[in-house]
Amino acid sequence: MDGKETPLQVLIAGCGYVGTALGLELAAQGDTVWGLRRNAGKLPSPIRPVAADLLADRLEDVLPQVDRVVYAAAADGPREDAYRRAYVEGPGRLLAALTARGDPVERFIFVSSTAVYGDAGGGWVDEATPCIPENFRGSRVLEGEEAVLASSIPGLVLRLGGIYGPGRTRLLDRVREGKARCPGDGPIWSNRIHREDCAGALAHLLRLQEPHPVYLGVDDAPTPLCQVYRELAAMLDAPEPQVDPASTRDRSNKRCSNRRLRESGYHFRFPTFREGYRALVESGA
């Protein structure tokens, strides 16, 4: 904050991996931050804990009065009912509780996913591309988006790509263990974003004047997954990934554009997976 901006009162609902990074960043710049989750004892200071289940009765009784909300809860498991709870019922209940109280919430950001797009045959997608989810995961997340954007509280959606960062090193681990596999029939594009850029982009969007309703949150460089593996293998001095045609199954293939987010003034801390993973490797991850 440059000293001229008014501090915000922010509730982060579903304050986990991304939410905690965002909360710490906002608090460091002078905002007041509440983190809502069931296991609120896990939240670091100065995030103010709100121990609650988003699906519990009388949610309105435990909510702090805030002017901004970020909804970043994730599904508890891979089944459709878990997705419905996290992405449809959770935001629905929270919006209803905020509306019932008449709180003057000026922005409700829904953390969404690029899964809403489904397969684009390796082509580019952006915020104007129609969403045709391939499976219930994308469908339930899209349903949540629609509810947020239809609410009387001003809503905004950030569709994140694959998140990586400290403690989320699945690709590095796969390469290190010799388990990385390349598809055999053409490139499958990987769209990634470092946790610090998830937090940075959300902090930026919380204050952005006259935002669009939807932004894509991915870095500058959609890259074929096999190329990501190869570069990580070189970085780690690990074996080259092997080709396995079966590894293409269930992967939607698209290149996500971050142009709208960049043109809104956001500067990526890790513009590509190269800088992001290099920093992780150098930090001992």
Q: Which residue number, 163 or 208, has a Cβ lying nearer to ligand NAP? A: 163
Task: Between 93 and 105, name the residue whose CB sits nearer to ligand NAP.
Answer: 93
SS3 string of 96-108?
HHHHHHCCCCCEE
CB of 239 to ligand NAP, least distance (A): 25
Extended strands (E) in 115-258? 124-125, 155-160, 162-164, 181-182, 189-190, 192-194, 214-217, 223-224, 242-243, 255-256
- Supply the minimum distance, in Å, between the C-beta of residue 246 and ligand NAP: 22
- Residue in the structure block whose two tokens are 């870095």: 219
Q: From CA 237, how far away is CA 244, in angstroms rounded?
A: 21
Residue nearer to ligand NAP on the CB measure, 119 or 240: 119
Q: How far is the CB of 167 from ligand NAP (least distance, A)?
A: 10
CB of 13 to ligand NAP, least distance (A): 7
User: Cβ distance 214 to 261 under 8 Å?
Assistant: no
Report, in Å, the least distance between residue 10 CB and ligand NAP: 15
Name the 3-class secondary structure at 166.
coil
- 3-class DSSP state of 157: strand
Task: Report how far residue 253's alpha carbon sits from residue 235's, in angstroms, rounded to the nearest whole number.
Answer: 25
- Residues of the shown chain interacting with ligand NAP in the complex, contacts defined by CB under 6 A: 14, 16-19, 36-39, 53-55, 72-74, 76, 86, 90, 111, 113, 160, 162-163
Closest chain position to ligand NAP (CB): 16
Kindly tell me which of 210 and 250 has the beta carbon lying closer to ligand NAP. Answer: 250
Nearer to ligand NAP, 25 or 240 (CB): 25
